[in-house]
Amino acid sequence: MRKFNYRIVLSSIGILLLIEAIFMLFSALVGEYFHEHAVRGIYLSGVITFISGALFLFLGRRNEATSGHITKREVYLTVTTAWIMMALYGTLPFLLSGAIPSFTNAFFESICGFTTTGSSTLLNIEAFPRSLHFWRSFTQWIGGIGIIIFVMSFVPVFGGNSGQFFDAEATGISEDMVRPRISVITANMALTYIALTIVGFFFLWAGPMDAFDAACHTLSAISTGGFSTKQASISYFDSAYTEYVITALMFFGGTNFMLLYTFFTRFRLRTFQEEEFRWYVSIILIFTLGISAMLLSSGKMNDVEYTFRMALFQVVAAVTTTGYATADYQMWGEVYWLLFLAMILFCGCEGSTSGGMKVSRLVVLTKNTLLVFKKQVHPNALYRVKMNGKVISDNTSSKILAFVFLYLSLAAFSAVVLSFTGMSFDESIGVSISSISSYGFGLGSYGPSGTYESASVFAKYYLCFLMLVGRLEVFTILSLFVPSFWKR
């Protein structure tokens, strides 16, 4: 078998770093507008990132010896390394500006951005430079659509198949459907993503937010990231209009972007008859109505519209793994803790910016479980799991079972690991599940009202690993630790 094609790894990293350097200029322009000293650090970061990208691209330049087919080994290593390098260089604006002097905290903030996790180590968010606020939100916007989207157009240059990169980032049940037309699909997803960002910005700007806050919150809402420019998050604006707009953006961010593209280009309501989407909407409605009823009946709330709006916002933020909050659900009681932990497990749809295990896997697992009961009564009958009228192959079903097993096992193992870092029992469980699901809020001091500043250095780096594993859907990174994966 042929040697490992390390040049595709270097070339892909180089291209992404060049793109990241260009994105840094947008944050620098914000700093210029507000006359901030941090802009010097951002410019320097952009120069360092651009030079590094050019160097990687030069070292990985294509020649006859490196052309040809790309295997899973190159793809998985490329995707993993690309995310790490993007996050690593993403720390430079924080460090070189002096806004976050600690490398650990700066790297944690960068990883939280690119993995669209709402966690943060900042104690005084409103004192943070606006240019770096924009960079934080921008990293979530980049991570939302997936860094790998930006390299799709360049893969054919290196003789590769872009479908392999898509599979490495999103190991779901829809991969067989998207592989034949991956270039068209990624282009349509990106177009929909950008269009929703632009529309969302103008809607938020029409409310109490100024243009800067509207831009930052649009970037982090559509990406289901959750970074805010205010210490009190969305509740700072005290606006029902703003909360409903943010809720809509989070909802769209958790929806399959190809489904949205089809609807917006064909204007057919039957597009939303897709099974995963119906489950997605049903989960949001059931939890929203259930929590609203519980809060009203218990006397914790008495205003019906406010209770519904608050419950809807928190539920959509949890299901789409967006780290926004208008209330601290821990104050409602322990039963609500369990409900929110359950919501952030399966989360949004395939092809969306949300984290978690995805609703499609929940659908398949539920239907497969029901078939087990049917086969007990009719052991000789031929039953198959279907979604949208199409049979789910045994290979796909086995991958889903393996994925869920690994996901839950890693979350449980991580809870044990984190408990040794000084976290309480409930904190370790909440932080573990929220990190691997890219949600951000945990329990205890790491809930909606807290930050991760008090976490130990080891805990922060471990959570960075956990967030990255969850964002790349487990298999991509864990495969790199399997010895047989590297055998020729």
HEC readout, 295-355: HHHCCCCCCHHHHHHHHHHHHHHHHCCCCCCCCCHHHHCHHHHHHHHHHHHHCCCCCCCCC
**80-118 pLDDT, tens digit each:** 898 999 999 999 999 999 999 999 999 999 999 999 998
Q: What is the DSSP letter of 390?
A: E
Residue 162 has pLDDT above 80, yes or no: no
Cα–Cα distance, 233 to 326 (Å, whole number): 7
Residue 165 has pLDDT above 70, yes or no: no
Residue 188 has pLDDT above 90, yes or no: no
**314-331 pLDDT, tens digit each:** 999 999 999 898 998 999
pLDDT given at position 42 = 97
Q: What is the mean pLDDT of residues 222-242?
A: 94
pLDDT given at position 455 = 94
For the chain, give the percent of residues with pLDDT over 90: 57
Q: What is the mean pLDDT of residues 403-420?
A: 95
- Dihedral angle of Cα 419, 423, 429, 434, to the nearest 10 degrees: -120
Tokens, residue 202 = 């103008």
- Give residue for tokens 């040049």: 7
Q: What is the mean pLDDT of residues 34-59?
A: 95
Q: What is the mean pLDDT of residues 263-281?
A: 85
Would you tell me how many other CB atoms lie within 10 Å of the CB of residue 207? 17
173 vs 281: which has the higher pLDDT:
281
Q: In which band, very low, low, confident or very high, does the pLDDT at 412 lie, cut at 50, 70 and 90?
A: very high
Residue 176 has pLDDT above 50, yes or no: no
Strands (DSSP E) contained in 231-286 are none
Residue 192 has pLDDT above 60, yes or no: yes
Q: What is the mean pLDDT of residues 26-46?
A: 96
- Give residue for tokens 């052991």: 379
Q: Which residues contact 350 (CB under 8 A, 6 or more apart)?
A: 170, 172, 173, 174, 256, 276, 358, 359, 360
Mode of pairing for the β-strands spanning 386-387 and 390-391 = antiparallel
Task: Report DSSP letters for 392-414, one per residue.
Answer: PPHHHHHHHHHHHHHHHHHHHHH
Q: Residue 391 pairs with which residues in a beta bridge?
A: 386
Cα–Cα distance, 208 to 218 (Å, whole number): 14
Tokens, residue 130 = 């606006």
Answer yes or no: are the C-beta atoms of 370 and 362 closer than 8 Å: no
Residue 2 has pLDDT above 70, yes or no: no
Work out the angle at residue 254's Cα, subtended by the Cα atoms of residues 291 and 131, and round it to the nearest 5 degrees.
Answer: 105
pLDDT given at position 38 = 94
Helix axes 182-205, 130-145, angle to 10 degrees: 150
Would you tell me how many other CB atoms lie within 10 Å of the CB of residue 300? 13
pLDDT given at position 478 = 86
pLDDT given at position 153 = 42
- Give residue for tokens 């720390």: 91
pLDDT given at position 166 = 52
Instruction: Let me know if 177 is exposed, middle or buried by CB neighbors in 10 A (0-12, 13-18, 19+).
Output: middle
pLDDT given at position 376 = 83
**233-248 pLDDT, tens digit each:** 999 999 999 999 999 9
pTM: predicted TM-score of the whole model, two decimal places: 0.91
Residue 379 has pLDDT above 80, yes or no: no
pLDDT given at position 50 = 97
Residue 173 has pLDDT above 80, yes or no: no
Cα–Cα distance, 484 to 488 (Å, whole number): 9
pLDDT given at position 417 = 97
Answer yes or no: are the C-beta atoms of 387 and 276 closer than 8 Å: yes
pLDDT given at position 479 = 84
Q: What is the mean pLDDT of residues 391-400?
A: 85
Rounded to 5 degrees, what are φ and ψ at 417?
A: -60, -45
Residue 284 has pLDDT above 50, yes or no: yes
Helices of type H across 91-230? 92-96, 103-114, 130-145, 162-169, 175-178, 182-205, 211-222
Q: In which band, very low, low, confident or very high, does the pLDDT at 75 lie, cut at 50, 70 and 90?
A: confident
**125-157 pLDDT, tens digit each:** 999 999 999 999 999 999 988 755 654 544 444
**195-215 pLDDT, tens digit each:** 999 999 999 999 999 999 999
Per the prediction, the chain carries an average pLDDT of 87
Q: In which band, very low, low, confident or very high, does the pLDDT at 69 lie, cut at 50, 70 and 90?
A: low
pLDDT given at position 156 = 43
Work out the angle at residue 486's Cα, subtended by the Cα atoms of residues 108 and 164, and round it to the nearest 5 degrees.
Answer: 70
pLDDT given at position 62 = 63
- Dihedral angle of Cα 398, 401, 407, 413, to the nearest 10 degrees: -110
Q: What is the mean pLDDT of residues 409-424?
A: 95
Tokens, residue 299 = 């006397």
What residue type is 451 in one-letter code? T
pLDDT given at position 72 = 75
Work out the angle at residue 434's Cα, subtended by the Cα atoms of residues 429 and 435, and round it to the nearest 5 degrees.
Answer: 100
334 vs 168: which has the higher pLDDT:
334
Answer yes or no: are the C-beta atoms of 474 and 171 closer than 8 Å: yes
Most confident of 179-188, 234-243, 361-370: 234-243
Q: Which residues contact 483 (CB under 8 A, 6 or more apart)?
A: none
293 vs 12: which has the higher pLDDT:
293
pLDDT given at position 149 = 63
Cα–Cα distance, 227 to 233 (Å, whole number): 8
Q: Residue 386 pairs with which residues in a beta bridge?
A: 391
Answer yes or no: are the C-beta atoms of 126 and 229 closer than 8 Å: yes
